[in-house]
Amino acid sequence: VGRTLARSGAPLRIGELATRTGTTPRTIRYYEEIGLLPGGDHERGKHRVYSDRDIERLRELTRLRDHLGLTLAELRALVEAEDARAALRERWHRTHDPVERRAIAREALRHLAVQLDLVRSRKAALAELERGFVAKRRQVQRILRELEAEAQV
Amino acid sequence: VGRTLARSGAPLRIGELATRTGTTPRTIRYYEEIGLLPGGDHERGKHRVYSDRDIERLRELTRLRDHLGLTLAELRALVEAEDARAALRERWHRTHDPVERRAIAREALRHLAVQLDLVRSRKAALAELERGFVAKRRQVQRILRELEAEAQV
DNA sequence: TTGCTCCTCACGTCACGTGAGGTGGC
DNA sequence: TTGCTCCTCACGTCACGTGAGGTGGC
């Protein structure tokens, strides 16, 4: 096994993390500043170092930001809820009490329902936009066909 | 026919336009300042007055801004293209040359295709997000059912 | 050692929000 | 006349972009 480019699991620097997530180093530092991302585990003045888990985390954040239009304050609230759920998963693994486990699972379902509602209402709005464009297009196409039929004669 | 609230066709002031389009007076003035909206036809210091056509125009802009995530610079480019197409429609009504009319219709189709591509790629991204949430939910639901079956025994 | 990427200020920008102080129309 | 909405500055804010000047690691 020789050298491999982009070896999975290898630590990343901020530039790599940025290109892999479609953002910029500035954005990453800003998110760290406002508490949306961990500090890449660095001392002041030294280079930040990230892991594969950070790639996933940042990708998730940018997706929610771009596709659901969440503000960074909303994202931060969401991340805090996420951390709370991570703590729940911890408890899940430590307990074997089925009553507690059911409560944890139901909590997870409620959270997923909220996310799904957001995604679906945005999708519905986009679908409406799409319908409008398609209707206009159909109308123009009909007119164009008529003009071309006329030209045939 | 007596007084009707919100009579269609009556001129609007900026506050009315704002509430009808889900924006704010400040946003409307800003859009005017950067050339995205006409000036409500007012002299300096006097009240701006808008028509029903302005409602539609602003709604269209906010939809494209919110759902497609366009910047105001992109919106302005789009508005300019829109104005160019309006000029084409003018020519359409003045000409009866079928060759010219076909050219105009084809131009309109190209423009609609660009818009549709944008909408659809955004919809696809949202659909992917949705699939992820649905898969997670299914998994949690399965676990929950198992726990409840256990409780039944 | 030479590039390249990284570091920390810090000011600039985009798209508005938010008063401050004053005028206009039902 | 009294409210209410409108007007124009003008500073503040959010989410970064963009140098300026300097240090770190393959």
User: Rounded to the nearest 5°, which phi and psi values hold at A9?
Assistant: 100, -20
What one-letter code names the amino acid at B101? R
Report the alpha-carbon distance of residue B92 to residue A98 in Å, rounded: 72
Express each pLDDT in A41-68 by its tens digit: 788 889 999 999 999 999 999 999 999 9
Q: Express as a percent the part of chain B with pLDDT over 90.
A: 75
Stated in angstroms, how far is B79 CA from D5 C1'?
A: 30
Stated length of chain A: 153
The pLDDT of residue A8? 64
**pLDDT of the residue at A2:** 31
User: How far is A101 from A48, CA to CA, in rounded Å?
Assistant: 38
What is the percentage of chain B residues whose pLDDT exceeds 70? 94
Predicted confidence (pLDDT) per residue in A3-40, tens digit:
334 446 789 999 999 999 999 999 999 999 999 999 87
Q: Please say if the pLDDT value at position B5 is more than 60.
A: no
**CB pair distance less than 8 Å for B98 and A147:** yes
pLDDT at B1: 25
Give the minimum alpha-carbon distance from B91 to chain A in angstroms, rounded to a whole number: 16
Between the two ends of chain A, the Cα-to-Cα distance in Å is 72
- Give the pLDDT of residue B44: 86
Region B98-125: mean pLDDT is: 92
Provide the β-strand partners of residue B12: B50
**Chain A residues within 8 angstroms (CB to CB) of chain B:** 63, 66-69, 98, 101-102, 105-106, 108-109, 112-113, 115-116, 119-120, 122-123, 125-127, 129-130, 133-134, 136-137, 140-141, 143-144, 147-148, 150-151
What pLDDT is attached to residue A4? 37
CB burial readout B81-94, b (16+ within 10 A) else e: eeeeeeebeeebee
Chain B residue whose CA is closest to A104: B144
User: Which pTM value belongs to this model?
Assistant: 0.85
pLDDT for A93: 93
Give the pLDDT mean for B26-44: 91
Q: How far is the CA of A1 from the C1' of C4 (A)?
A: 27
Sign of CA dihedral B19, B20, B22, B25: negative
For the cut 80, the answer to whether the pLDDT of residue B24 exceeds it is: yes
Among residues B116, B115, B108, B118, the alpha carbon closest in space to that of B85 is found at B108
pLDDT for A150 equals: 85
Q: How far is B45 from chain A (nearest CA, A)?
A: 35
Residue B32 confidence (pLDDT): 96
Q: Whole-number mean pLDDT of chain A? A: 90
Contacts with A123 from chain B: Cβ below 8 Å: 123, 126-127, 130
Q: How far apart are CA B10 and CA B52, in angstroms?
A: 8
pLDDT at residue A81 in the model: 87
If 0-12 CB within 10 Å is exposed, 13-18 middle and 19+ buried, where does residue B141 land? middle
Note the pLDDT tens digit of each residue in B46-65. Answer: 999 999 999 999 999 999 99
| CB-based contact B127 A123, cutoff 8 Å | yes
**Which one-letter DSSP state was computed for residue A12?**
B
How near does any CA of chain A get to the CA of B143, in Å? 8
Q: What is the mean pLDDT of residues A134-145?
A: 96
Out of B109, B129, B130, closest to residue A140 by CB: B109
Kindly tell me if the per-residue pLDDT of B2 is higher than 50.
no
pLDDT per residue over A64-84, tens digit each? 999 999 999 999 999 998 888
